[in-house]
């Protein structure tokens, strides 16, 4: 079964600021949701007490609450800014492997029930390496899944079947359908926040002290990814490189 794209869940209208934001998993989405929710409540930005991914906790409105017609109207309205934040595809996939495949790291606000997503991802990756749809749950819990196995899995799996932490960013934000007013990059957070401030009330100055969620067990670093794997990642996420303006990795045929 195809998983939901951001267009049906994390593409949201933020009524407090009259803008649309496409939150992409592994792209500081927890941070930015907390940022907007805190500003709307007039509070300092800090660790969230409630899960920022639950829209009833933030007041954000997706297509589920608004309906397809209203959301389409908002997306077509040129007076409403549309904003998205990208991330280097290699760094994003490494982060996904560290926190969603190699080891599971629950944030304090998350429910242990979310462990089932971790098991499902591992089942699918391990199953793919064995020419199966999915490995048994018990095997997925104990098998070692190296980073190259994840790269092979995402390279062979249609975007609509990938978990939201692994799917291409351009697929998740529907970049071929939506004209974005502001396209930022996680690696340039301070300039992005400065640009974002132009779309917020004057009482909401840019912040330069925000901290991204980090995997507690970062056993793989971006610098350790081989040239061959970088080339494979580039071919799978070429649209992300183009849309967000990231340079082609060294060693990749141009």
pTM, 2 dp = 0.85
Residue pointed to by tokens 């912040």:
207
52-84 pLDDT, tens digit per residue, is: 666 666 678 999 889 999 999 999 999 999 999
User: Residue 106 is encoded by which pair of tokens?
Assistant: 């629950």
Q: Domain residues of the chain, as ranges?
A: 6-244
Which burial class, exposed, middle or buried, applies to 139 when counting CB atoms under 10 A from its CB (0-12, 13-18, 19+)?
middle
At 142, the pLDDT band (50, 70, 90 cuts) reads confident
Q: Quick one: average pLDDT of 2-29?
A: 82
> Which 3 state secondary structure label does DSSP give 110?
coil
pLDDT > 70 fraction of the chain, expressed in percent and rounded: 78
Rounded to an integer, what distance in angstroms lies between the CA atom of residue 227 and that of residue 224?
9
**What pLDDT score was predicted for residue 39?**
82
Residue 2 pLDDT more than 50? no
pLDDT in tens, 190-208: 999 999 999 987 645 445 4
What is the DSSP secondary structure assignment for residue 101, as one 8-state letter?
I
CATH of domain 6-244: 3.40.50
Burial track 27-64 (b if 16+ CB lie within 10 A, e otherwise): bbbbbbbbbbbbbbeeeebeebeebbbebebbebbbbe
Confidence of residue 124 (pLDDT cuts 50, 70, 90): very high
Angle (nearest 5°) at CA 232 between 227 and 168: 125
pLDDT interval class at 249 (50, 70, 90): confident
* Partners of residue 20 on adjacent β-strands: 13, 82
In which region does residue 28 sit, left (phi positive, over 0), alpha (psi from -120 to 50) or beta (all else)? left
């Amino acid at each position: 079964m195809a998983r939901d794209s951001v267009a049906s869940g994390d593409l949201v209208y933020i009524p407090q600021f009259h803008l649309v934001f496409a939150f992409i998993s592994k792209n500081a989405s927890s941070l930015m949701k907390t940022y907007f929710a805190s500003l709307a409540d007039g509070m300092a930005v800090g660790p969230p007490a409630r899960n920022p991914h639950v829209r009833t906790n933030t007041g954000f409105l997706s297509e589920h609450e608004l309906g397809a017609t209203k959301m389409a109207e908002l997306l077509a309205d040129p007076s409403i800014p549309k904003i998205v934040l990208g991330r280097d595809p290699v760094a994003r996939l490494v982060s996904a492997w560290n926190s969603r495949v190699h080891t599971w790291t629950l944030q304090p606000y998350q429910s242990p029930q979310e462990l089932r997503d971790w098991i499902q991802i591992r089942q699918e990756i391990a199953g793919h390496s064995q020419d199966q749809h999915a490995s048994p749950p018990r095997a997925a819990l104990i098998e070692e899944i190296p980073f190259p196995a994840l790269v092979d899995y995402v390279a062979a799996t249609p975007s609509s079947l990938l978990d939201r932490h692994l799917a291409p960013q351009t697929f998740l934000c529907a970049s071929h359908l939506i004209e974005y007013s502001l396209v930022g990059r996680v690696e340039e957070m301070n300039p992005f926040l400065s640009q974002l401030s132009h779309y917020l009330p004057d009482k909401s100055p840019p912040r330069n002290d925000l901290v991204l969620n980090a995997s507690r067990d970062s056993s793989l670093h971006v610098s350790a990814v081989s040239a061959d794997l970088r080339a494979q990642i580039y071919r799978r996420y070429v649209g992300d490189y183009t849309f967000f303006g990231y340079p082609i990795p060294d060693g990749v045929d141009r």
